């Protein structure tokens, strides 16, 4: 695919540029159009975009040296783990990480009889799947957050409905349910986990 590095083939050069442009556009949709709109934590936006670009270029290079599939997958695994080794990633961010890695590898390595048509269909399947899953996640899965609460009178089970309404007012969140994790009568404080829809 990238023999233009050695023999300056215009066809191969255009092939790589086309693949890179399509891959960049798909990453823009996945990260800029979907991830940023649904995830409050934006710190992974830059790493995800850079990883997508590097994985594409690395995959293109691997197609030159004809590295065996097992070694290539091992390199991808090491590459993806090193950046996030010291931090705990949520399943949501991890899903987008592997989506970006897989999409970039497919766009760099996949051989289609008709390049643009094949890339369009494969990337549309990925984007459509992410959109459907995001819709399902938004409609059916609650987010959760732990808060501290000082009004112990409302902690009583008999006042649970009043507590939920009170928390809705002060947090401005669509709270579905709550669980009381810990109550300290000395500190006059309770730890509450709230479950809400975005």
Handedness of CA 122, 124, 125, 126 (dihedral sign): positive
Backbone angles phi, psi at 186, to 5 degrees: -75, -50
Count of beta carbons in the 10 Å neighbourhood of residue 96? 21
The reported pLDDT for the residue numbered 5 is: 47
The residues near 56 (Cβ < 8 Å, ≥ 6 apart) are: 19, 20, 23, 104, 105, 107, 108
Question: Per-residue confidence of the chain (198 residues) as pLDDT tens digits?
Answer: 444 444 545 667 788 888 999 999 999 999 988 887 767 667 788 888 998 998 898 887 776 655 555 555 666 665 555 555 545 667 788 888 889 988 998 898 888 888 889 899 999 999 999 999 888 877 766 677 888 888 888 888 888 888 888 888 888 888 878 888 888 888 888 888 888 876
d(CA 105, CA 55): 6
- Residue 29 DSSP class: I
**All structural domains of the chain with their residue ranges:** 4-140, 143-197
The reported pLDDT for the residue numbered 25 is: 95
Q: H or E segment at 94?
A: helix 91-109
The reported pLDDT for the residue numbered 157 is: 82
- Report residue 140 as tokens: 């059916």
The reported pLDDT for the residue numbered 78 is: 58
């Amino acid at each position: 695919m990238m023999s233009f590095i050695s023999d300056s083939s215009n066809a191969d050069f255009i092939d790589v540029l086309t693949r890179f442009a399509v891959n960049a556009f798909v990453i823009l949709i996945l990260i800029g159009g979907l991830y940023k709109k649904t995830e409050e934590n934006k710190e992974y936006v830059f790493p995800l975009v850079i990883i997508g670009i590097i994985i594409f270029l690395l995959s293109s290079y691997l197609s030159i040296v004809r590295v065996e599939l097992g070694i290539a997958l091992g390199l991808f695994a090491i590459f993806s783990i090193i950046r996030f080794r010291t931090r705990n990633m949520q399943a949501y961010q991890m899903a987008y990480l592997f989506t970006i890695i897989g999409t970039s590898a497919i766009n760099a390595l996949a051989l289609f009889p008709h390049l643009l048509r094949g890339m369009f269909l494969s990337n549309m399947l990925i984007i459509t799947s992410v959109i459907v899953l995001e819709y399902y996640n938004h409609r059916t899965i609650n987010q959760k957050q732990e808060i501290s609460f000082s009004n112990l009178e409302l902690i009583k089970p008999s006042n649970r409905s009043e507590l939920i309404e009170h928390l809705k007012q002060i947090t401005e969140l669509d709270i579905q349910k709550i669980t009381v994790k810990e109550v300290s009568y000395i500190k006059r404080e309770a730890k509450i986990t709230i479950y809400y829809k975005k």
